[in-house]
Structure 1
Amino acid sequence: MTSPCELQLYCNDEHKARAIAKKIMIMAKRLENKYNFYNPDSYLSELNQRKTDVLDTQTKDLLTRAKLFYKKTNGVFDITMGTLTQSRKLETLKQIEEASQRLKPFLGVEHFKIKKNRLTFNNPHTLIDFGGFVKEFAVDQAVKILKKEKITTALVNFAGDIYALGLKPNKQRFSIGIKNPLNPSEYLTSIKLSNQALTTSASYERSHKIEEKSFSHIISSSNLQDEILSATVVASSVVEAGVFSTALMIKPQLETKLEKLLILKSLKLLRS
């Protein structure tokens, strides 16, 4: 992963702890290499370039879940947003807008189908990007490894995608600080977790400017709203939390029964 990844696990056997950490690191690196959208030699790129249509079990599962989350978020969370990525490489706003309008008809998971272990597209333009999915999936996989190794207390944090396993040794829940989006060195509040996942999406985290217009790393077919600075979601899995925290940055009024915390431009906190 290109972002900082942290693993805290509680184990009386240091050798075992290091072996588990190494196993998790290898797993995360394998996922990164396999599903790297920008690496032309990755397995995902081979699918996008139509060089192969063969799906392994893991990829078929991810694509199936992505279709499900597309439906659950009313189309807000869409792994085919990678289709618009090439437009962001252009130099002027006019070029970006023209390219975006040309490519928008090819957005949506309805443009690809899964038939047994085969992936088919109905056009040559739709691209799949697991960028908002794989890091979260890696954390969930790390938790599976920890449970298999009989670890009962751990905190996995892959660049803010977090899972708290069990309770701390003092029998207290893990306390996760929520940053001030306008001053990330400051924390506005905290959320306590035990056997739960938490992710935060924020448009300020990674962005670039073209002709003085800022573009967030969160790619959407519509303009990102600017009233919400960050969205934090608590769920049973990191993938689900990540999907909804991203979706809420695009559509804050999206309905979900998951625990969420939105931070407004005024720094007001909205909990539900």
Structure 2
Amino acid sequence: MARFFVVALMFILAACKSDPLTLKFSGETMGTTYNIVAIDKTADLSPETLQADITAALAKVNSQMSNWDPNSEISQFNSAPTTDPVAISPELARVVAAANEIHRKSEGLFDVTLGPLIEIWGFGARTADSPVPADEEIAAALKVVGQGKILSLSQDDLTLRKNLPETSVYLAAIAKGYGVDQVAAVLAEAGITDYMVEIGGDLVTAGLNPNGEAWRIGIERPDSASQTIEEIVDVSGLGMATSGDYRNYFEQDGTRYSHIIDGVTGRPITHGTASVTVLAENAMMADGWATALLALGQERGLKIAEAEGLAVLFIARQPDSGETGFETTTSTQFSKLQSKQ
């Protein structure tokens, strides 16, 4: 899934040891990049130690939830040809439980078992130049997806079971946000109260930025031809994620096919919602809900956002405007959070 943002800040490095220091870390993880800004108010933390702890936290998340690592915990679960309960870590159980919650509340549109559908539509390991899948292919894939009926999680016993041995779990739509939260926990454990952690567009912040102001993030206009800021929001003390359909898609015979798949129909979404931004108490829930609400679209998604008290900003294409005309709609909770900042 494509998630894009611009961080609107300027970093001021302290000139003397007694003043707070702005520490910055960056690198690669989970098939994307990460950027971290942390303010050391004591000016006595070891950047090397902090970097090592950050690296260790990210490595642990990858070892548990990466679908690209054949030795990861989730890959081992996927490859196991069994329908017996499989012991899993508390961390994986927590992420699957969150995924189950979003699945239930999103009318099944958020689904971590969509791998077969993603593959036949050309958004997985295959390329998108293959023919549009036939109805028979879609029907066959639908038989092995649907986490609500195929996956059984026991948080008490820490086990996960699939009803069909060929079912696979893909956590890309929620694990990145979880990774953000784990890095934030490392910073908090080190005594850092002001920070911003971002991985591939998913982020969480705490306290204030290096200028002593609220963290402000620019949300990109969902226009594949430009990089224009649509809106700047205050996100201090919140997790944030944006999901859009305007980067990862293909066109064939005059039809545009989004990488966001409707798990009920087995086909790419067709509504006009181009981007969804969610603010939540942590990055994991923001990550999952951004994907779910984009799949639902603004009309259905806004109803759920209001019912669940979610802070959401929808950006939809205006009718007959192609890729250039957009309108924004916010949930009540989103507006409340912005008015408090």
Same fold? TM cut 0.5: yes
Distance in 2, Cα, partners of 1:180 & 1:85 = 25
TM score, norm. by length of structure 2: 0.73
1:259 paired residue among 272, 293, 311:
311
What does residue 271 of structure 1 align with?
Answer: 330
* Cα deviation, residue 225, structure 1: 2.9
Identity of aligned residues (%): 22
1:250 partnered with 2:295: yes
* Cα deviation, residue 211, structure 1: 6.3
Q: Is the 8 A contact 1:174 1:193 kept in 2?
A: yes
- Where in structure 2 are the equivalents of 1:37-52 lying within 5 Å? 37-50=67-80
> Stretches of 4+ moved more than 4 A in 1?
208-215
Deviations 1:107-153 (A, max 9, x none): 22221213423322211232111010110000111111111111011
Count of residues in correspondence between the two structures: 271
1:63 partnered with 2:102: no
Distance in 2, Cα, partners of 1:94 & 1:130 = 24
1:131 paired residue among 172, 186, 192:
172
Structure 2 gap segments, 5+ residues each: 1-29, 318-324, 332-341
What does residue 196 of structure 1 align with?
Answer: 238
Deviations 1:59-82 (A, max 9, x none): 122222221221122211111112
- Per the alignment, do residues 14 and 225 of structure 1 end up closer, same or farther by CA in structure 2, a change over 3 Å counting? farther
Q: Counterpart of 2:281 in structure 1: which amino acid? A: S
Distance in 2, Cα, partners of 1:94 & 1:242 = 28
> What's the Cα RMSD here?
2.3
The structure with more helix, counted as a fraction of residues? 1
Distance in 2, Cα, partners of 1:269 & 1:70 = 25
Q: Is the 8 A contact 2:73 2:88 kept in 1?
A: no
- Where in structure 2 are the equivalents of 1:97-246 lying within 5 Å? 97-109=135-147, 110-115=149-154, 116-182=157-223, 183-208=225-250, 214-221=256-263, 222=265, 223-246=268-291
Deviations 1:7-37 (A, max 9, x none): 0111153752342233223322332243222
Distance in 2, Cα, partners of 1:258 & 1:174 = 20
Q: Is the 8 A contact 1:200 1:245 kept in 2?
A: yes
Residue 79 of structure 1 aligns to a residue in which SS? coil
Deviates more, 1:57-66 or 1:156-165: 57-66
Residue 185 of structure 1 aligns to a residue in which SS? coil
Structure 1 gap segments, 5+ residues each: none
